[in-house]
Amino acid sequence: MRRPLALLVLAAFATSLVTVVAAPPASAATVPPGFTESTIGGLTLPTAMAFTPDNRIFVAEQGGALRVLRNGGLVSQPFVSLNVDSAGERGLLGVTVAPGFPSVNRVYVYYTVPGSGGASPHNRVSWFAANGDVSSGPEHVIIDLPNLGPTNHNGGALHFGNDGNLFIGVGENGTGSNAQNLATPLGKLLRVTPDGAPAPGNPFADGPGGNDDRVWAYGLRNPFTFAVRPSDGQIFIDDVGENTWEEIDVGVAGANYGWPQTEGPTTQPGINGPLYAYKHDQGCAITGGTFFESQGLGPAYANRYLFSDLCGGWIRALNIADGSVIQLASGIDSPVDLAAGPDGALWYLAHGSGVVGRIAVDNTSPRTFFIRNSPSSGTADATFTFGEQGDVPLFCDWDGNGTDTVGLFRNGTWFLRNTNSTGPAEATFTFGDPGDMPVCGDWNGGGKDSVGVYRNGVFYLKNTNHTGVADRVIGFGDPGDRPVVGDWDGNGTDTVGVFRSGVFFLRNRNTTGPADLTFGYGNAGDTPVAGDWNGDGKTTIGVWRPGVFLLRNTNSTGTAQIVAGYGDAGDVPATGNFDGAGGTGIAVAR
């Protein structure tokens, strides 16, 4: 069997209208070159955390204290201290805040109520009103779950969906048959209103009938964590397995995930098999997951699902489009929760060491660029450093002299150089927001390139390189698409396009409308690139697949006409006319 999930407790940060204690840092993870990690200790068996819009973090401790972290310090007085049964995997296990917090000042918790007077313990969901960093007012109970038998498989995760309803992960309490029984909430993902009533539209609602009207999905063993994607409300469920498999399941209303009949990949009819699963030779319990939609960790980790394992002690990133996985961190002492922070960093909780950790790009290390003047394999024609790790690079003709030079986008600020050499930026200005994807091109045919950003299916383009509002706003593509820009018809003006799961959608005008060209090329996990590879005056597409550029001379479905091995896995690809000779070369930033 598996190691008990009593280790599943998280660490947190604190806020202060009361004393903030600067807890000593503790090293807890090994991260790759170009990243940095910092931690705050002082927590006791942390189990879950929740960020707030006012930059606090609520952290649940298994023993019943809900702590607050503010400005890198732990508030000395708990927000609330609950009387809990913390035997085995029980205790204070989940926390979230209401949509609209702090104006809507509800803090929700999931915890195990001790048995008394001969009654068995049970899990409960309640909310407390927040008055600064401490609770004000009484407990408001919204759900009391059935009496417990064994101490394991309690679930406990809480998140509000984009529809404003509360989702609750509930374990099957060590009894597999509960997971398939729609009359009990055990082994389910529940969906309720903020006051605990069954949410409208739940798939098994039958009023006073035999089903529990709160059930949204079933067949789960122990959904200790799950995550809601902010951009579209998609849910991924991290279901802790038994002897062989750990699962990431796509949340679907009415879905049956198969426990206890199946575990891991399956083709059994009527069962929703996992999006991704891994065996126990890599870990023992999937205990953290979060959608990471920003560019805060660099393009390699953007728009991936990050997840962690309790025994493996690692954090990995799943490419949702193609199922590939890369590692971000290792050596963590029993990680139990992950969160994408508003600062662009990844935050984690370590049960074993009682710390909350922050993984971010190491901005003390510069970006190094390796550029080639032709789209071919070989050594770099020029190498230089510019900017910081985590900056998103691109090359365009900023001064209209016919040569593309380096630019960087960093959290809404642009840094441009007119030569491909080490040195300070020659133009610095703000345009766009953190998390945007940068683009550049000659939008009006004036002979100079200028900047733009792509955000959730909308391009915002400027005709000049300085701070200001967009000169053009173009709805094209969908949230999650990757932008690509080029002079597709050779008329001297760059226009927009997007890449979506191995398909390019290109437009010949910078206006909202349908694609003028649609064709499949590359794989879902590839990075799109564009350039004039043969010098004929038209831009055509390509993809970069770690270490290889695969380029086409026509904008159509087909095989690569140029295959250039260049760069390493983890590099960021770029293209440009680096020597002013008329064709496009290739580059990587490292």
Question: Does 2 have pLDDT greater than 90?
Answer: no
List pLDDT tens digits, range 248-276.
999 999 999 999 999 999 999 999 999 99
In a 3-state reduction of DSSP, which class is residue 262?
Answer: coil
Torsion of CA 447, 588, 571, 346, to 10 degrees: -30
The stretch 531-545 carries a mean pLDDT of 96
Report whether 385 contacts 422 (CB < 8 A): yes
Cα distance between residue 79 and residue 58, in whole Å: 8
Cα 419 to the center of its chain, rounded Å: 35
User: Residue 27 — very low, low, confident or very high, per pLDDT cuts 50/70/90?
Assistant: low
State the burial class of residue 452 (Cβ atoms within 10 Å of its Cβ: 0-12, 13-18, 19+). Answer: buried
Does 4 score more than 80 pLDDT?
Answer: no
Q: How far is CA 309 from CA 34, 158, 241, 544, 570, in A?
A: 23, 19, 12, 30, 22
Contact status, residue 60 vs residue 92, Cβ threshold 8 Å: yes
- The span from the CA of 38 to the CA of 29, in Å, is 9
Spatial separation of the C-alpha atoms in residues 76 and 22, rounded to whole Å:
10
Question: Tell me: the pLDDT tens digits for 279-301?
Answer: 999 999 999 999 998 878 887 88
Q: How confident is the model at residue 86 (pLDDT cuts 50, 70, 90)?
A: very high
Has residue 328 got a pLDDT over 80? yes
166-170 and 158-160 strand pairing: antiparallel
Confidence category of residue 11, pLDDT binned at 50, 70, 90: very low
DSSP code, position 521:
-
DSSP string, 320-359: TTT--EEEEEB--SSEEEEEE-TTS-EEEEETTTTEEEEE
Task: Judge whether 189 and 214 are in contact, CB under 8 Å.
Answer: no
pLDDT at 17: 30
ω into 274 cis (within 30 of 0): no
Distance, in Å, from the CA atom of 301 to the CA atom of 572, rounded to the nearest integer, reads 11
* Tokens found for residue 154: 């309690």
Fill in the amino acid letter for 244: T
CA-nearest of 283, 153, 284, 169 to 228 is: 169
Quick one: pLDDT at residue 183? 98
What is the pLDDT averaged over residues 154-179? 98
Query: Exposed, middle or buried, 476 (CB in 10 Å: 0-12/13-18/19+)?
Result: buried
Dist CA 403 CA 319 (whole Å): 35
DSSP secondary structure code for residue 231 in this structure: T
pLDDT at site 204: 98
- Locate 391 and state its tokens: 């900056």
Nearest C-alpha neighbor of 263 from the set 275, 254, 252, 274:
274
pLDDT of residue 582: 84
pLDDT in tens, 423-481: 999 999 999 998 899 999 999 999 999 999 999 899 999 999 999 999 999 999 998 89
Looking at this protein, which amino acid is placed at residue 140?
A: H
Q: With left for phi above 0 and alpha for psi between -120 and 50, is residue 323 left, alpha or beta?
A: left
Let me know: does 80 contact 127? Beta carbons within 8 Å: no
Adjacency order of strands within the sheet including 188-192: 158-160, 166-170, 188-192, 215-218
Query: Which residues touch 117 (CB under 8 Å, ≥6 apart)?
Result: none
Instruction: Provide, rounded to the nearest whole percent, the portion of the chain with pLDDT above 90.
Output: 84
User: What's the whole-number average pLDDT of the chain?
Assistant: 93
3-state secondary structure at position 411 = coil
Per-residue pLDDT tens over the stretch 100-142 = 999 999 999 999 999 988 788 999 999 999 989 999 889 999 9
Do the Cβ atoms of 164 and 99 come closer than 8 Å? Answer: yes
Element (H, E) at 224: none
Question: Which of 272, 269, 230 minimizes the C-alpha distance to 247?
Answer: 272
Closest CA to 552 of 329, 375, 365, 324: 375
Mean pLDDT of 222-250: 97
- The helix or strand, by DSSP H or E, that contains position 84, with its residue range, turns out to be none
pLDDT (average), residues 331-346: 95
How far the first Cα of the chain sits from its last, in Å, is 43
The helix (H) or strand (E) run that includes residue 564 is: strand 562-565
* SS3 letters across 125-193: EEEEEEECCEEEEEEEEEEEEEECCCCCCCCCCEEECCCCCEEEEECCCCCHHHHHCCCCCCCEEEEEC
pLDDT tens by residue, 385-403 = 999 888 999 999 999 999 9
**CB neighbourhood size of 553 (10 A):** 17
Residues composing the chain: 590
Residue 544, CB half-sphere, CA atoms under 13 Å: how many? Answer: 27
* CA atoms 345, 341, 309, 66: torsion sign: positive
Considering 4-13, 85-94, 475-484, the range whose residues carry the highest mean pLDDT is 85-94
Closest of 319, 337, 315 to residue 327, by C-alpha = 315
Q: Is the pLDDT of residue 13 over 90?
A: no
Alpha-carbon torsion, ordered 76, 79, 85, 89, to 10 deg: -80
